[in-house]
């Protein structure tokens, strides 16, 4: 029975892993998966040593606090797989953790796959050489990423994004002006660190927008139940009397209906783009993390959000770090509500980007993984 070791580090990686497991099990149900997984991967049949949430740590300085625990997990999974080698190791995103595991496993003769290229085009391009030491095959979500590995031994393939396959492209004939009673989606993130940094300014922006646009409606999808009380308290303190709907998850259905959105940079921005929802993207790192990146000149990109990275221009407004003030958030959301020409053009470009990412990704990834297993079996 083929055995695949696999590690996913957060919600987005868990969903990618679940799609991969399901696609492989359609034709090869006997393949066994084991490792670090979230709810979706566990439901798809992955045996789990640790929950994916244990690796969900934001920023450089935040990692230092959790380093002893992360090192213990790393040592445990490596020991398990060195003692009882799997046929293949797949690390999904979480490069700071997964590439360290992959390097040791590769040195032990285990074939390694990394799913989601680290953002070498954005910062620390020199990481390519380290990735080469850790990875045999690389699965790239963005079309321009494989070129960064063309002078290495890494086999890099553009595979698109399964979210683009799951979401139907917006019908361009339905794109129209934002209505008089707009629904505004507010997504402050799915991790504790994001909620701590973004929820208060996002809610303060809601309070101002509710006065400026009295007919507007606001909804916040709560990514995890443990965040609900925190968000309710923030709303009570910073937007008293404003009717804001808190949804239990349901970010996808909200973005499909919303007229515009204020979102944390990350997977939510990609999801909003695929649903054709005009957006403002905001983010704030720990001050020390941002300072370290700045003084080391590590940042190599003009953009942070996936819609802009894919478009190669500022398609959506990014409000980052010190610029992320309530005044700026309100101003940029107001631009979406007041400038129909801009939001209509944005949505048409979203449709074009959607088509680029629509690659039947799960099937493509499953074929790559199964071909690797077959070739290794043939050699043995």
Any domain includes 305: yes
What is the structure's pLDDT at 163? 93
Q: How far is CA 346 from CA 176, 279, 315, 343, in A?
A: 11, 9, 7, 5
Note whether residue 17 is domain-resident. yes
Residues 282-303: tens digit of each pLDDT: 987 655 555 555 555 555 567 8
Same domain, 18 and 137: yes
Q: Would you say 160 and 141 are in contact if contact means Cβ atoms under 8 Å apart? A: yes
Number of H helices, E strands in the chain: 15, 13
Count of CB atoms situated within 10 Å of the CB of 302: 12
Indicate the range of 31-35, 56-60, 304-308 predicted with least confidence.
56-60
The pLDDT value given to residue 283:
86
Same domain for 350 and 217: yes
How many CB atoms are closer than 10 A to CB 291? Answer: 13
pTM of the model: 0.84
What is residue 125's predicted lDDT score, i.e. its pLDDT?
Answer: 66
Residue of 55, 133, 53, 148 lying closest to 94 (CA atoms): 55
Dihedral pair phi/psi, residue 167, rounded to 5°:
-100, 130
Backbone angles phi, psi at 115, to 5 degrees: -105, 115
| Percentage of the chain lying above the pLDDT 70 cut | 91
In this predicted structure, what is the pLDDT of residue 285? Answer: 64
144 and 182 in a common domain? no
Tell me the pLDDT band of 343, cut-offs 50, 70 and 90: very high
- Do residue 39 and residue 125 come from a single domain? yes
Model pLDDT, residue 27: 95
3-class secondary-structure state, position 324: coil
CATH number at residue 8: 3.40.50.2000
What phi and psi values does residue 91 have, to the nearest 5 degrees? Answer: -100, 130
Please report the pLDDT score of residue 341 as a whole number.
93
Regarding whether 55 and 39 lie in a shared domain, the answer is yes
Is the domain of 349 the same as that of 208? yes
In this prediction, residue 286 carries a pLDDT of 59
pLDDT in tens, 227-249: 899 999 999 999 999 999 999 98
**Residue 167 counted as domain residue:** no
Question: Tokens 């080698």 — which residue?
Answer: 85
In a domain, 327, yes or no: yes
Query: How high is the pLDDT of residue 375?
Result: 87
| Per-residue pLDDT tens over the stretch 12-24 | 899 999 999 999 9
Q: What is the pLDDT of residue 12?
A: 83
pLDDT of residue 287: 54
The pLDDT value recorded for residue 217 is: 97
Inside any domain, residue 140: yes
Token representation of residue 168: 């139907």
- pLDDT value for 124: 61
Residue 60 has pLDDT above 50, yes or no: no
Q: Are 142 and 301 in contact (CB under 8 A)?
A: no
Residue 65 pLDDT greater than 60, yes or no: yes
Average pLDDT over residues 102-116: 97
In a domain, 25, yes or no: yes
Residues 6+ apart with CB under 8 A from 328: 319
What is the domain extent for residue 151? Answer: 3-160+359-379
* Secondary structure letter of residue 168 according to DSSP: P
Q: Does one domain contain both 27 and 83? A: yes
Average pLDDT over residues 152-166: 96
Query: Do 343 and 370 belong to one domain?
Result: no
Give the closest residue to 299 by CA, choosing from 63, 167, 124, 104: 124
Q: What is the pLDDT of residues 81-107, one digit of tens each?
A: 999 999 999 999 989 899 999 999 999
Residue 117 CA to residue 231 CA, distance in Å, equals 33
The average confidence (pLDDT) of the chain is 90
What is the structure's pLDDT at 61? Answer: 47
Assign 197 to helix, strand or coil: helix
What pLDDT score does 59 carry?
A: 45
Does the residue 166 lie in any domain? no
**One domain for residues 202 and 178:** yes
Q: Output DSSP code: residue 169.
A: P
Mean pLDDT check: name the lowest of 228-237, 271-280, 295-304, 337-346.
295-304
With cut-offs at 50, 70 and 90, classify the pLDDT of residue 159.
very high
Q: Measure the CA–CA gap between 25 and 19, rounded to whole angstroms.
A: 10
Q: Which residues pair with 260 in a beta bridge?
A: 184
The answer to whether residues 144 and 268 belong to one domain is no
- Count of domains for the chain: 2
Question: Using an 8 Å Cβ cutoff, are 201 and 329 in contact?
Answer: yes
Residue 191 has a pLDDT of 79
Spatial distance between the Cα atoms of 15 and 361, rounded to a whole number of angstroms: 12
Q: Which residue has the tokens 């020409």?
A: 341
The size of the chain, in residues, is 380
Residues 209 and 325 in one domain: yes
Contact 142/160 with Cβ under 8 angstroms?
Answer: no
Phi, psi values for residue 38, rounded to 5°: -95, -170
- pLDDT at 330 exceeding the cut of 60: yes
Residue 285's Cβ-side half-sphere holds a number of Cα atoms within 13 Å equal to 16
User: Does residue 268 fall inside a structural domain?
Assistant: yes
Regarding whether 185 and 148 lie in a shared domain, the answer is no
pLDDT given for residue 153 in this prediction: 96
pLDDT in tens, 180-232: 899 999 999 877 778 888 999 999 999 999 999 999 999 999 988 888 999 99
pLDDT of residue 377: 74
| Residue given tokens 């209509």 in the structure block | 344
């Amino acid at each position: 029975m083929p055995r695949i070791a696999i590690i996913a580090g957060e919600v987005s990686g868990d969903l990618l892993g679940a799609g991969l497991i399901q696609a492989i099990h359609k034709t090869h149900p006997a393949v066994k998966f084991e490792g670090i997984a979230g709810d979706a991967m566990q439901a798809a049949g992955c045996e789990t040593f640790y929950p994916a949430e244990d690796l969900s740590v934001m920023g450089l300085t935040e990692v230092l606090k959790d380093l002893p625990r992360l090192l213990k997990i790393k040592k445990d999974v490596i020991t398990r797989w060195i003692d009882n080698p799997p046929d293949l190791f797949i690390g999904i995103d979480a490069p700071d953790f997964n590439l360290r595991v992959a390097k040791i496993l590769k040195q032990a003769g285990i074939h390694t796959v990394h799913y989601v290229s680290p953002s070498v085009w954005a910062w620390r391009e020199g990481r390519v050489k380290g990735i080469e030491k850790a990875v045999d095959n690389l699965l790239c979500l963005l079309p321009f990423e494989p070129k960064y590995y063309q002078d290495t031994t890494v086999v890099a393939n553009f595979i698109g994004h399964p979210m683009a396959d799951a979401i139907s492209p917006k019908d361009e004939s339905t794109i129209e002006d934002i209505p008089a009673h707009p629904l505004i989606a507010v997504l402050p993130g799915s991790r504790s660190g994001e909620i701590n940094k973004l929820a208060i300014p996002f809610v303060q922006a809601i309070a101002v927008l509710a006065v400026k646009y009295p007919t507007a409606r606001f909804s916040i999808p709560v990514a995890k139940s443990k965040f609900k009380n925190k968000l309710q308290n923030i709303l009570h303190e910073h937007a008293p009397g404003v009717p804001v709907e808190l949804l239990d998850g349901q970010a996808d259905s909200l973005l499909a209906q919303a007229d515009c959105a204020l979102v944390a940079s990350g997977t939510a921005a990609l999801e909003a783009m695929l649903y054709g929802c005009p957006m403002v993207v905001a983010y704030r790192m720990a001050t020390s993390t941002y300072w370290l990146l700045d003084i080391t000149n590590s940042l190599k990109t003009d953009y942070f959000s996936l819609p802009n990275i894919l478009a190669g221009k500022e398609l959506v407004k990014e409000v980052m770090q010190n610029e992320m003030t309530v005044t700026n958030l309100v101003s940029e959301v107001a631009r979406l509500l007041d400038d129909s020409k801009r939001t209509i053009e944005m949505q048409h470009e979203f449709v074009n980007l959607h088509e680029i990412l629509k690659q039947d990704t799960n099937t493509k990834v499953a074929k790559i993984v199964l071909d690797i297993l077959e070739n290794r079996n043939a050699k043995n």
